[in-house]
Structure 1
Amino acid sequence: MTMLAHPLKRLTVALSLPTLLAACALQPTLPPTAQRLNGSQIGLQVNADAPAHMAPSNWWTELNAPELNALMQRALSEAPSLAQARARIQRAQASIENAESSERAAVGLSLDAARQRFPEHSIYPPPLAGTLRNTATLQASASYEWDFFGRHQAELNAALGSAQAARADAAAAQLMLSSQLARSYVQLARVLAQRELLARQSAEREQALALVRQRSQAGLDTAQDLRAAELPLPELRRQALQLEEQADLLRHQLAALSAQPMAALKDLKPALPAALPLAGEGALGLDLLGRRPDVVAARWRVDAATAQVSSARAQFYPNISLGAFVGFNAIGFNNLLKSGSLQYGVAPSLRLPLFDSGRLRAQLRGSAAEADAAVAAYNGALLEAVRDASDQLRSLRSLQEQKTEQAAAQAHVQAALELARQRHSAGLGNRLAVLNASQSLLQQQRQALDLQAQTLDAQLQLLRSLGGGWTEAKP
């Protein structure tokens, strides 16, 4: 073994220098890669005040709706989409373990046994030739590949980036699920509240129709007045059927999101929660980039794709490894563990692909293209995140202005109703005028209810667009 070491070492050194030069010459020149957008390019400010308070990760509890909390808990534990996300995390973790194994020596143990006939016309001399014998090999082996050119480290970095992206994707899926469930819950509460107001409208229209019939029979109103009093009722009944359908569909959606049978929530009747205590309308800051899990996932995919480019580049350099084995080989099982059956050896190797029909060049160009695609996807996710949050802020501002105008209109209608009641009490007006004024007030109340639900929905979407209180865990 000592006599062989020096020739092997000299051979390795002699081969390494020309192959390194050849590897450098083989690498193609890649075009400049795409550049990631930064916060200043899309208007994000460094020290901007947050447009909403920093919500906790379980932000839905601030709605003070125990039924929603129960639905959310079941959805986050049972939803198939989140189970898929968790499986992708486990797969990514397995890739990390596989990449880490390349940094360690591989050790194996084998035992082979056979009964074979040694042919006369072969390399085996008498008395083996022409006989049937037992053969056995017991051997331990070890091999190690040096990562002189960073290929293993690049593969590990790519696996780590993919795993972090999978975790961020899981957080994004959870945020989307919780947002959809909370918004559906709010919409169901809105529909049920609208149905109650609609029932009051229908009841008062029925009363108004009865009064018009009496006046028509007494000759005080015409047939045209009677037809006008009858006209709103079919439309109100149509709206009632529409609201009933919407309520059932929303219950079905909530059941699907929380992984339950469609009929499980047929008796769910939530009340519309109050608006969330969101504060401020400040400009979007750079912290948005770290609070949106979809943006963070896209950033990690860029890092993983960049590491894949480094790994593909390292394929052009030599692969240097060392193998060794020790064990026993014998003819006849009784001779296997005797000292004369001992065998051992060492096998250093250096490999460099010189002519591979362009496979490595194509692989490197493909990896570079994947990196460019990842950068483009990151830029797209970043632009979409800023647009999404900006839209929700704009919608909230508009809804606040609409609520102010609607409150003023409702106040006027309320005053008109009070006046109609006073005139009716004083004998100066009839009951029909009071009912008509009450109809206008109910219509304004329905508009106010819609604005309240739209405001809460916009707040929920703003929380989602700002990351829902998610923070990235350190790798």
Structure 2
Amino acid sequence: MNKLLPLAIASALLAGCASSNGLVAEGSRRDPATLSAGKSLGNAKVSDAAWPSERWWAAFGDPQLDGLIDEALAASPALDAADARTRKAIAQAGLADAARKPSLGAGAQVLGLQIPETLAGPDLGGDFSVAELLTLNFKYNPDFWGADKAKWQAALGNARAAEVDAQAARLQLAANIVRAYVALAQAFDAQDAANAEAARSDALVKLNQQRIKAGLDNTIALNQNQSASAAARQQAQAAQQQIDALRNALAALVGAGPDRGLEIARPMLATPDVAVPSQLPSDLLARRADIVAARWRVEAAQHGIDASKAAFYPTINLSMMVGLAAGNLGDLFGSDALLVNGGPALTLPIFEGGRLRNQLMGSNADYDLAVANYNQSLLGAIREVADAVQGARALDAQLASTRIARDTAAKAYAAVAQRHRAGLANQLDVLAAQKPLLQLDQQLAALNAKRRTATIDLDQALGGGIALPQSNTTAPNTTASN
């Protein structure tokens, strides 16, 4: 071994024909401190405890929703696929680690050989000979330039990224279920509003018919109200269709058949408050699955560059075979049967037709792409947080205005109803006063659904409280198992 190192160094000096000069990566990771968001989030409630918990959906206060998500996390085929991808990436890292280590194998073989007399003469040729062999084969590639280590670290980084992607799939599944559940609640509210409007229109139709019989009215108002009643029933039917479709969607999300959706009762959802953490955007680096995975892939790509650079240097392979060989089994274990073969072998890249340079160029491009994806993930994360907070803030203002309008309409309706009971207003006045109240109820239901969706968006934008393996700026010291 002492003779190998000088030989390798001398060979490296001769490798100038295969040069990596001038090939460098150009990408650089964005500093999150440069992505200011203080003014955009200035009016939002700030709290150190505002990061979502691992079961962030519990804030909606619906036990049925909690059960659906638990069921999905235990049985969804989408998660099975993500877990399988993670296991495959870990296995690939294990293969890269195994390539760095010595190997030892044993073999047994029976050889038959006959050399023609025309080639070896009558002394050696013409006879068929049989030899028995027992061998031990040893192979080891000293990683002088760190190429194998870099390949293993790159594979390990990709495995960690796949692990994070699997966690992100869980967050996405939970978010999809909550969104479908919120839409289901809105569909029930829309059905209620449509049924109420149909009942109001039917009452108007009945009054119109009475007034026509009494000679007090014509058929214009009757036809209008009959049309409104039919339209309201169509809206109620459309809402029922949406309810059925959303129940089917939820059943599929939890990994069950459509009959599971029939068991889902009407949602009973609260509307959580929103707040942003005090450490934005820097803490997103450790909490957002896409950012953490992107950082792992940047590190993996950097190790890929290291491996490509190491390929410009010579490689030394050590191999040895020790065994026993004899013409018959009785002589196999004799002292004269020892067979030894082996030694170092050196491979020196001189002229590669541009293969090594193009390989390094590709590794540099992979790194630049990984950095660009990381920067894009960081920008997207900040934007999603800002969109969710600003959306929730705007919806809170709309909800407040709509509630004031609804309270005013309710007072007007109550006043007309009281006048009707006192004989100072007729039933037409009451039904006319009811219309804006029903319309505002429908608007409130839609705004509440949007406001709950904004909460989902914010919880997801803040990472969903999932535990993520963190990346390092240095090589991980975790070793893969054999």
Taking structure 2 as the reference length, what is the TM-score of the superposition?
0.90
Where 2:117 maps in the other structure, the secondary structure is coil
Structure 2 counterparts to residues 277-316 of structure 1, below 5 A: 277-279=273-275, 284-316=280-312
Match of 2:141 among 132, 138, 145: 145
Q: Which residue of 1 aligns with 2:28?
A: 35
Answer whether contact 1:99 1:159 (CA < 8 A) is retained.
yes
Q: Which residue of 2 aligns with 1:164?
A: 160
Where 1:110 maps in the other structure, the secondary structure is strand
Match of 1:93 among 80, 90, 95: 90
Q: Which residue of 1 aligns with 2:55?
A: 58
Question: Using the alignment, how far apart are the partners of 1:267 and 1:17 within structure 2?
Answer: 73
C-alpha displacement of 1:130: 2.1
Question: Using the alignment, how far apart are the partners of 1:283 and 1:99 within structure 2?
Answer: 38
Where 2:141 maps in the other structure, the secondary structure is strand
Aligned length: 464
Question: Using the alignment, how far apart are the partners of 1:453 and 1:14 within structure 2?
Answer: 73
Structure 2 counterparts to residues 3-18 of structure 1, below 5 A: 12=4, 15-18=7-10
Match of 2:64 among 63, 67, 83: 67
Show CA shifts across 1:255-280 (max 9, x none): 22122223431342322401124335
Show CA shifts across 1:319-347 (max 9, x none): 12322221111112222222111112440
Q: Which residue of 1 aligns with 2:215?
A: 219
Where 2:324 maps in the other structure, the secondary structure is strand
**AA of the residue aligned to 2:404:** A
Question: Using the alignment, how far apart are the partners of 2:430 and 2:343 within structure 1?
Answer: 102
Answer whether contact 2:85 2:162 (CA < 8 A) is retained.
yes
Q: Indicate yes or no: 2:102 matched with 1:112.
A: no
C-alpha displacement of 1:31: 4.1
C-alpha displacement of 1:65: 2.4
Structure 2 counterparts to residues 190-209 of structure 1, below 5 A: 190-209=186-205
**Which stretch of the first structure deviates more once superposed, 413-422 or 198-207?**
198-207
Where 2:280 maps in the other structure, the secondary structure is coil
Question: Using the alignment, how far apart are the partners of 2:318 and 2:246 within structure 1?
Answer: 65
C-alpha displacement of 1:131: 2.1
**AA of the residue aligned to 1:157:** Q
Q: Which residue of 1 aligns with 2:236?
A: 240
**AA of the residue aligned to 1:43:** S
Q: Which residue of 1 aligns with 2:175?
A: 179
Question: Using the alignment, how far apart are the partners of 1:14 and 1:300 within structure 2?
Answer: 36
Q: Indicate yes or no: 2:451 matched with 1:459.
A: no
Question: Using the alignment, how far apart are the partners of 2:36 and 2:273 within structure 1?
Answer: 26
C-alpha displacement of 1:123: 4.2
Question: Using the alignment, how far apart are the partners of 2:311 and 2:186 within structure 1?
Answer: 61
Question: Using the alignment, how far apart are the partners of 1:435 and 1:407 within structure 2?
Answer: 21
Match of 1:26 among 5, 18, 31: 18
Show CA shifts across 1:336-383 (max 9, x none): 222111112440122112122111111111111111111111111111
Answer whether contact 1:189 1:269 (CA < 8 A) is retained.
no
Q: Which residue of 1 aligns with 2:246?
A: 250
Answer whether contact 1:281 1:393 (CA < 8 A) is retained.
no
Taking structure 1 as the reference length, what is the TM-score of the superposition?
0.92
Question: Using the alignment, how far apart are the partners of 1:151 and 1:211 within structure 2?
Answer: 89
Match of 1:81 among 72, 78, 81: 78
C-alpha displacement of 1:203: 1.3
Show CA shifts across 1:40-64 (max 9, x none): 222257xx94597222212223323
Match of 1:325 among 321, 327, 335: 321
Percentage of matched positions with identical amino acids: 33
Give the direction of change, closer, same or farther, for the CA distance of 1:392–1:219 in structure 2 (3 Å limit). Answer: same
Where 1:348 maps in the other structure, the secondary structure is strand
Q: Indicate yes or no: 2:390 matched with 1:394.
A: yes
Give the direction of change, closer, same or farther, for the CA distance of 1:165–1:44 in structure 2 (3 Å limit). Answer: farther
Where 2:111 maps in the other structure, the secondary structure is strand
Answer whether contact 1:120 1:129 (CA < 8 A) is retained.
yes
Question: Using the alignment, how far apart are the partners of 1:120 and 1:336 within structure 2?
Answer: 27
C-alpha displacement of 1:124: 7.7
**AA of the residue aligned to 1:285:** P
Q: Which residue of 1 aligns with 2:442?
A: 446
Q: Which residue of 1 aligns with 2:428?
A: 432
Answer whether contact 2:145 2:310 (CA < 8 A) is retained.
yes
Answer whether contact 1:168 1:296 (CA < 8 A) is retained.
yes
**AA of the residue aligned to 2:454:** A
Where 1:347 maps in the other structure, the secondary structure is strand
Give the direction of change, closer, same or farther, for the CA distance of 1:443–1:241 in structure 2 (3 Å limit). Answer: same
Question: Using the alignment, how far apart are the partners of 2:374 and 2:276 within structure 1?
Answer: 28
Answer whether contact 1:99 1:152 (CA < 8 A) is retained.
yes
Give the direction of change, closer, same or farther, for the CA distance of 1:112–1:44 in structure 2 (3 Å limit). Answer: farther
Answer whether contact 2:420 2:430 (CA < 8 A) is retained.
yes
C-alpha displacement of 1:412: 1.0
C-alpha displacement of 1:101: 1.5
Give the direction of change, closer, same or farther, for the CA distance of 1:343–1:353 in structure 2 (3 Å limit). Answer: same
Q: Which residue of 1 aligns with 2:474?
A: none
Show CA shifts across 1:259-305 (max 9, x none): 22234313423224011243358683311122110111111111111
Show CA shifts across 1:216-262 (max 9, x none): 21122232232332231122122112212211221221122122223
Q: Indicate yes or no: 2:253 matched with 1:261.
A: no
Question: Using the alignment, how far apart are the partners of 1:274 and 1:30 within structure 2?
Answer: 57
Show CA shifts across 1:177-211 (max 9, x none): 11011110111121012212321221122112101
Show CA shifts across 1:124-147 (max 9, x none): 863x53223321111102122211
Where 1:121 maps in the other structure, the secondary structure is helix
Give the direction of change, closer, same or farther, for the CA distance of 1:346–1:225 in structure 2 (3 Å limit). Answer: closer
**AA of the residue aligned to 2:11:** T
